[in-house]
Structure 1
Amino acid sequence: MTDHPQARLQHILEELAKHGRVTVKELAAEFSVSPETVRRDLKQLEMEGHLRCIYGGGVTPRRDADQPISQRMRVNAREKAKIATLAARELRDHSKIFLDSGTTMLALSRYLVDRPLINIYTNSLDIIQTLSGVESNNVVAVGGVLRPSYRAFLGTDTLNVIREHLFDIAFVSAVTVDINLGFMDLGEDEALVRRALRRHAKQVVMLADSSKFGRQGNFCTYNFRDVDLLITDAPPRADFLEKLEEAQVKVIYA
C-alpha cells in the first residue's frame, strides 16, 4: 500500500468507520512505515476531530467519557444507581471516606445526605453541591484547579490535600477497564488524584459499570492489584474475573 500521507489518512478514516478503532501496529505493517509515522498520522486526525488517540492506536471520538458530566450522568443511569446502592452498604458510621469525581460517585453521594456520622472528603463540585444542604460539619471540599468539563478540582493543590490525610475508604472510578492494562483514565490529572488516593487510603473501592470493560483509555491508573473491592452492575467476563481473582480483588455485582 502507498505510503503517501493523504492516502494513509484516508485509509485510516475508512478503517475507523468500519471498525470503530485502529491500531498502530497493524497500520504500520499495512503501510510499511514506522510506528512513529502512524502515531503522527493519528495525532493529526485527532487534532482535526476525526478520532481520539488511545494507547496503541485510535478510536472514534464519540465516547461517553469525553462528554461533560451533565451528559454522562444520563448514560447508564440505571446501572450507576445499582452500583451506588451496593456501595452504600460498605459505608460505616464514624469512617473517613473520599469520593472522587466520577458520575457513579455522584449517585453514591445521594445516600450520604442522611449520614452525618460519616466524614466525607471530595473534589467533586457536584457532590459538594449535593451535600451542601446537610446540616453537619462532616463534608470537606478538597480544592485545586477547577476543571469545568469534569466539574472537579484537580492539580497540585488537590494532591497536596490528599497527601495530608489517611482515609478509611477511597471510592474511585475509572473511564475504562482493559484486560491487560487494568483501570484506565483519559486525563492525567484525574489519574494522579486516584493514584494518590491509593497511597492514602486503607481500602480502595472501585465503582465501574459494565460498559467500561474491554475498552482502553490514555493513562494506566491502577493495576488490578491496586484495588481492594470492585463494585459493578453485572458479572464481568470470565477472563476479567480470572484476572481479578489472581489480583485478589473482591468483586460485587448487582
Structure 2
Amino acid sequence: MELNQRQQQILLRLKQAEGIQIDELAAYFDVTTQTIRRDVNQLCEQGLARRIHGGVSLPALLTNTTYQFRADVESSIKDKLAKDIAHSIPDGSTVMMGIGTTVTHIAHYLLHKKPLRIITNNLQVARILEANQYAEVYMTGGLFRRKHQDIVGNSVLTFFSSFEADIGIVGCGSITQSHSAMEHETQEAEISRCILDNSRQNWLVVDASKWSRFASVKVRKLKEFDRIYTNKTGLPAELPAHVIQD
C-alpha cells in the first residue's frame, strides 16, 4: 500500500521521537484523532510503526527496515544527494554500487551518462539502468532479499572481489558519535567493506537522519572515505564532506 503524504510525515516525526501521542499528532495535522488512528493502523499493518500506550512509535527492530520504508523517508534530500553524486561520476567510470534507497536514487541520474560500467548487488539499480543502452551492468548472484531488494551471501563478496572499480558507493544504517559508518547486519557491513576494498575511490552517501539512529556493525571510519555526501552540517573540518543544502 502506498503511503499518503500525512503518513509519510508521521514517519518523519517518529524518527525524531521515541513515541508520539495520538492527540499530539491530531493537533499537529489539524485532523481528528480517528483520522490519525486510521493512518497509524495502516502503518502498523505494514510493519512501519507500532502502537504504544496512547500513541505510536517506530518498530523495535534489530535488522534493517524494509526497502519501502526507507524509500518513503527523507526522499527529497536523498534525491538531492543522488543528483550531486551522479554528476560527480566521470563518463567511462567503473562504479560499484551497494544496497540502499539513496544508492537507487543515484541510478536514476545515470540514465544518460555514457559509457558506464556498473557492478552491483542492488536489484533496483540494475532495473533502472537497464534503460541506459550505454551502461554495462554486472549483477551478482546470491540470496535475494525481497524486502530489501538486494542480493547477499559469500558469492557476493567473491563477485565484487573479481573487479577493481574507479569508484565504490555505499550507504549505511547509522553514524556513531565517534564518526563510524555502521550497518544493521553483519552481511550488509561485509558487502560494503568489500566494495570499498575493491574501489580506488570510496564514497559514502548518508543523510542527516542517520546520526539519530543505531546500528551495531562497523563498516568504516568516516575519515577513511574519500568523499562523504550528506546534508549533515557541523561536521569536523578534516572530514571530506560534500554538504548538500536541504
Same-fold status (TM-score > 0.5): yes
| Structure 1: tracts of 5 or more residues without a match | 1-18, 22-49, 51-58
Per-residue deviation, 1:176: 0.6
Amino acid at match of 2:130: S
Measure, in 1, the Cα distance between the counterparts of 2:212 and 2:135.
Answer: 41
- Alpha-carbon offset, residue 67 of structure 1: 2.8
| 2:216 matches 1:218 | yes
Deviations 1:210-235 (Å, cap 9, x if unpaired)? 11114320211111222111111x24
Q: Secondary structure at the match of 1:225?
A: helix
Kept after mapping to 1: 8 A contact 2:116/2:134: no
Give the conservation status (yes or no) of the 8 Å contact 2:182–2:218: yes
User: Residue 195 of structure 2 corresponds to which residue in structure 1?
Assistant: 197
User: Which residue number in structure 2 is paired with residue 24 of structure 1?
Assistant: none
1:12 equivalent in structure 2: none
C-alpha distance in 2 between matches for 1:60 and 1:162: 34
Whether the aligned pair in 2 keeps the contact of 1:198 and 1:226 (CA below 8 Å) is no
Distance (whole Å) between structure 1 residues aligned to residue 182 and residue 220 of structure 2 = 7
Match of 2:242 in 1: 251
Residue 180 to residue 214, structure 1, CA distance change in 2 (3 Å): farther
CA distance in 1, matches of 2:134, 2:93: 15
Match of 1:169?
Answer: 167
Aligned residue for 2:65?
67
1:105 equivalent among 98, 103, 113: 103
- Which of 67, 77, 83 does residue 79 from structure 1 map onto? 77
Percent identity between the two aligned chains: 21
Determine the C-alpha separation between the residues in 1 that align with 2:91 and 2:199.
17
1:170-214 Cα shifts (integer Å, max 9, x gaps): 111001111125111111111001111121111111111111114
Within a 5 Å distance, the mapping from 1:53-64 to structure 2 comes to 61-62=59-60
The answer to whether the 8 Å contact 1:172/1:207 transfers is yes
Equivalent residue of 1:213, what SS?
helix
**Runs of 4+ in structure 1 over 6 Å off:** none
TM-score by length of 2: 0.71
Counterpart check, 1:154 vs 2:152 = yes
Q: How far 1:106 moved relative to its partner? A: 0.7
Structure with the greater alpha carbon radius of gyration: 1
Q: Deviations over 1:88-110 (max 9, x none)?
A: 12110111001111100111100
Shift of 1:136: 3.8
Deviation at 1:151, TM superposition (A): 1.0
* Whole-angstrom CA distance in 2 between matches of 1:228 and 1:76: 24
1:154 and 1:206 mapped to 2: Cα distance? 20
Q: What is the rounded CA distance, in whole Å, between the counterparts of 1:136 and 1:249 in structure 2?
A: 31
Displacement of 1:71 in angstroms is: 2.7
Tell me the CA shift for residue 137 of structure 1: 5.3
- Number of matched pairs: 193
1:141 counterpart (139, 142, 163) = 139
User: Mean alpha-carbon deviation: is it higher for 153-162 or for 113-122?
Assistant: 113-122
2:158, 2:115 → 1: CA distance?
Answer: 25
Which 10-residue stretch deviates more, 163-172 or 221-230? 221-230
Amino acid at match of 2:168: A
